[in-house]
Amino acid sequence: MAQKPSIPKGTRDFSPAEVNKRNYIFDTIKKHFQIFGFQPIETPSFENSETLMGKYGDEGDRLIFKILNSGDFLSKVDDVTYSSKNSGSLTPKITEKALRYDLTVPFARYVVMHQNEIDFPFKRYQIQPVWRADRPQKGRFREFYQCDADVVGANSLLQEVELIQLYDAIFTDLKLEGVHIKLNNRKVLAGIAEIIGAKHLLVNFTVALDKLDKIGEEGVKKEMLEKGISEESIAKAAPLFSLSGSTGEQLTMLKELLQDSEEGLEGIRELQFVMDTVKEIGLQSAQLSLDVTLARGLNYYTGTILEVSAPEGVKMGSIGGGGRYDDLTGIFGLKNVSGVGISFGLDRIYLVLEELGLFPKTLEQSIEVLCLNFGEEEALASLKLINTLRKLGVKADLYPTDAKIQKQFKYANNRNVPYVILLGEKELVENAFVVKNMANGEQKTFSIDSIEDFIASL
RNA sequence: GUGGUUGUAGCUCAGCUGGUUAGAGCGCUGGAUUGUGGUUCCAGAGGUCGCCGGUUCGAACCCGGUCUUCCACCCCA
């Protein structure tokens, strides 16, 4: 007895309707990427392990899918390593490749490998699946698509401004209005850590701070203490917890707090510039705000940090994020190439659009015209008609068998076909065809010699 | 990786403290209606109760394991 087939945890099949909706998002994102001057690249699904390992922190390494070596991979492992049963030391010896974890690190590798062919500044976009050995939840999968746009080789903060405009353009076009773009700067975080005397604990400090809206001030303080940050330090950071008011007021308060940190003040200047310039140009529907608690776990960000969350009332994690990384290509041996980029989480955007009912109704239509099948002779005439319609760009189809007309109509109805053509015995004689508008039930007769009249009525 | 949760017809879900032949709505198929769908009426098909094992005279129900779903951590898109 055959077992019921299944697919691995955290993976999905997509039905025609779902693929259509996903493509709608892909196409919208792609369109704006190109309008903003980004060019597409693609990289392999899997990379050499050393390209990926160590780039996302210990937590990230754990979530990277490793690919078992081919052939007799165990024979090359020495007895000591083998019998110690230590996954940490055994893993590197039996896996040399790993599935891509995000698109940014492979892109950095790409830039380094192709540095002599690339004209900098290089603006690239990349839309491909990535894999994470995470435990799935709603909106979290083990295979999912990322849509990235990055610029490398340009230090200008105008890039940040442009990427914010790009977020705004895409979400506005998707009719997802009112998304929140949160802005922060790693230098500000580093400056604060420096001022409070916890510079060596920067990562622990920021990870804890990032949870402010979730676990509250007391929770954050508790976590900081647990991570080895002294009470004295935490007290110094206190103003952060009660930061409020307009962007300008917040920046003024931060400036005061950071007056003895050169790095921190630099971060403030950067934030100020980006905020001011975006304000000058204006956004269509997105809301940009400052959020000093925004940290994001990825270690490689060095300047601007961006995160996008769904509009008020939609329960969903972030639907996009990004930032500036000055050293990413440095890991692969290319110094002084600054990069800044943003990412869109397709699957989460999908869930948000679905929840808010923002997908266009036309996506549910597979064809515009279905021609009913009345029998051999009529079908032949229908095919000729459809052939003409197709040449004119109309999505048209013939019902393949002369099933009962009722059944054929039902099929058209279920497929959301807006127009049904009836070309039966009677019409065949009269060299005509009847068009039924499925929405209102109206029927009109057209001559086969003047199909244009029908097209014009669509 | 830690702790919990879920799984019954194509879909959404009932199913009592373990007790004959596991139900409903929607969908599907056929008919009322041999050239007219979306409304209505009638009839029908469709189930290894996630999987493996255990307890029991008897298991959808209890126990163990496993897979899956979702949730809280962790982390993140």
Residues of chain A with pLDDT under 50: 1-2
Q: Give residue-wise pLDDT tens across range A129-160.
A: 999 999 998 889 999 999 999 999 999 999 99
pLDDT of residue A297: 60
A31 touches strand B (CB under 7 A): no
- Show the CA angle centred on residue A423, arms to residues A421 and A425, nearest 5°: 155
CB-based contact A318:A307 (threshold 8 Å): yes
Query: Tell me, what's the pLDDT at A26?
Result: 96
Which residues of chain A (58-97) touch nucleic strand B at CB < 7 A? Answer: 59-60, 62-63
Q: Å between A2 CA and B59 C1'?
A: 25
Residues 6+ apart with CB under 8 A from A3: none
* Residue matched to tokens 């049904």: A420
Reduce the DSSP state of residue A54 to 3 states and report it: coil
Q: Strands (DSSP E) along A298-377, which ranges?
A: 304-309, 318-325, 339-345, 369-371
Strands A369-371 and A46-48: unpaired
User: 3-class DSSP state for residue A185?
Assistant: strand
**What pLDDT, on a 0 to 100 scale, did the predictor assign at position A112?**
95
Phi then psi dihedrals of residue A322, to 5 deg: 180, -170
pLDDT at residue A223 in the model? 86
pLDDT at A93: 82
Residue with tokens 């001011």: A276
A373 CB and strand B closer than 7 A: no
Identify each DSSP E strand in A296-453 by its residue range: 304-309, 318-325, 339-345, 369-371, 396-398, 419-422, 432-437, 443-447
Statement: the CB of A345 is under 7 Å from strand B: yes
pLDDT tens-place string over residues A159-197: 999 999 999 999 999 999 999 999 999 999 999 988 888
